Amino acid sequence: MSRFWSKTVKNLTPYVPGEQPKLSQLIKLNTNESPYGPSPKVLMAIAAANNDALRLYPDPNSDALKQSIAKIHNLQANQVFVGNGSDEVLAHAFLGLLKQDHPILFPDITYSFYPVYCNLYDIAFETIPLTENFSIDITDYIQKNNGKNGGIIFPNPNAPTGKALALGQIKALLQANTESVIVIDQAYVDYGTESAVDLVNEFPNLLITHTLSKSYALAGLRVGYAVGHPDLIEALERVKNSFNSYPIDKLAMAGAIAAIDDQDYLKRISKAVVQTRETLIEDLSQLGFQTIPSHANFVFTKHPEKDAAEIAAVLREKHIIVRHFKMARIDQYLRITIGTDEQCAMLVKNLKDFLK
Ligand SMILES: *Cc1c(COP(=O)(O)O)cnc(C)c1O
């Protein structure tokens, strides 16, 4: 704290990202990165960049990237917004669409950046408890405050539970909630959840965000995007052009376009992660762990007899890092990112040794 800080900064509660330890020889299963590299075409596109890629400002509108994204989703480019990671896209959505007279709604257990943005932008919010078995019940959102809300946001599948809502449920929520924006954060959609992207042509209040950080294996490139009605996209553009005109640099543009254009590679590595996930869930169950069926590239699991924080500490000594949240309702769970088959086998071996 310093007397030079603004009142805004004094009142911030910043997001705490998962650790990026400076250890080598680490099995890093704590921040949902892909264990595989990106498409080789991404590195080739970045390597092919010339002097101008660094000398000149990039295209402020990222038109070529928007075209590629629009194409894979059968949309128009004016239905696409791109940003420096989906965290930035979400930040602009909070300021540009979710700052309203009524409080916005999101689950009590969800991506912990949402309350951070509310705090930053002074947005009122109310959390809705997940059901007993950690599901989102859309009727809770429809009925809350007699249907009056400033907006609704949640990931599908949710994080850190990995539980997904069926497309029919998303559609039912949109049909019932027409007076405020609904943001669906599809960060993990590529691991077996039905995408709601086709609904953006039908519902002018639906915004869907995606990231290249997880399934595209590009967390280091910092690219995310949103799709929705052109009026919603324009709101995000207005915020972006009041904040940073050039969020996507030329190297990121080249890499992101190559990644988006290589859908075969995306499908291949997403499928590999799903296969490893199902093996890991089975192996964990052999050791007595109770794991929520996952639609993401991580599992949310607990052991009925062992303390989650202790398990995380024991694994850390073995240079295996998993995520533990010191939060009500979930403090006995661990969120474990799906690594390679070898990494998951090492995890299981160490858990077995510990439980013995
Ligand atoms: C990882 C994640 C994001 C942010 O990803 P970026 O790296 O900023 O693109 C957004 N939402 C959820 C739910 C996430 O897990």
One domain for residues 65 and 134? yes
**CB of 254 closer than 8 Å to CB of 48:** yes
One domain for residues 108 and 203? yes
pLDDT in tens, 138-182: 999 999 999 999 999 999 999 999 999 999 999 999 999 999 999
The best mutation among 31, 106, 156, 214 to test binding of ligand 1, ranked by most ligand atoms within 8 Å of the C-beta, falls on 214
Strand partners, 211: 224
Residue 52 lies in a domain: yes
Which of 276, 264, 246, 299 minimizes the C-alpha distance to 345?
A: 276
State which of 226, 261, 296 marks the end of a domain: 261
What's the confidence (pLDDT) of residue 278?
98
**CB of 178 closer than 8 Å to CB of 205:** yes
One domain for residues 292 and 214? no
Atom of ligand 1 nearest to the CA of 32: 1
One domain for residues 71 and 85? yes
| Helical H segments across the chain, by residue range | 7-10, 40-47, 52-55, 63-72, 86-96, 113-121, 138-143, 167-176, 230-240, 250-261, 263-286, 308-317, 341-355
One domain for residues 273 and 224? no
CA distance 104 to 223: 26
What's the confidence (pLDDT) of residue 16?
86
Give Cα separations from 178 to 64, 205, 234, 247 (angstroms).
32, 7, 19, 31
* CATH code of the domain in which 33 resides: 3.90.1150.10
One domain for residues 125 and 63? yes
User: Ligand 1 within 6 A of 85 CB?
Assistant: yes
Atom of ligand 1 nearest to the CA of 155: 13
* CATH code of the domain in which 233 resides: 3.40.640.10
Which 3 state secondary structure label does DSSP give 46?
helix
State which of 212, 234, 261 marks the end of a domain: 261
CA 207–ligand 1 middle distance (angstroms): 15
The tokens of 5 are what? Answer: 């800080």
Whether the link from the prior residue into 14 is cis, omega within 30° of 0, is no
Task: Look at ligand 1, atom 11, and give the residue with the nearest C-alpha.
Answer: 187
What's the confidence (pLDDT) of residue 25?
83
Residue 307 lies in a domain: yes
Atom of ligand 1 nearest to the CA of 159: 13
One domain for residues 349 and 328? yes
One domain for residues 30 and 137? no
One domain for residues 85 and 167? yes
User: Ligand 1 within 6 A of 83 CB?
Assistant: no
One domain for residues 296 and 248? no
Block means of pLDDT (10 residues each) for the chain, 356 residues, are 93 87 87 97 96 96 98 98 98 98 98 97 98 97 96 98 98 98 98 98 98 98 98 98 97 98 98 98 98 98 97 96 94 98 98 96
Residue 5 lies in a domain: no
CA 87–ligand 1 middle distance (angstroms): 6
State which of 238, 261, 284 marks the end of a domain: 261
Domain count, the chain: 2
- Quote the domain boundaries for residue 26: 15-37+264-355
One domain for residues 225 and 351? no
CA distance 278 to 29: 16
User: Ligand 1 within 6 A of 187 CB?
Assistant: yes
What's the confidence (pLDDT) of residue 231?
98
The best mutation among 158, 211, 335 to test binding of ligand 1, ranked by most ligand atoms within 8 Å of the C-beta, falls on 211
User: Ligand 1 within 6 A of 33 CB?
Assistant: no
pTM, 2 dp: 0.97
Task: Look at ligand 1, atom 14, and give the residue with the nearest C-alpha.
Answer: 187
User: Ligand 1 within 6 A of 159 CB?
Assistant: yes
Residue 225 lies in a domain: yes
CA distance 207 to 182: 6
Atom of ligand 1 nearest to the CA of 31: 1
One domain for residues 50 and 124? yes
CA 295–ligand 1 middle distance (angstroms): 15
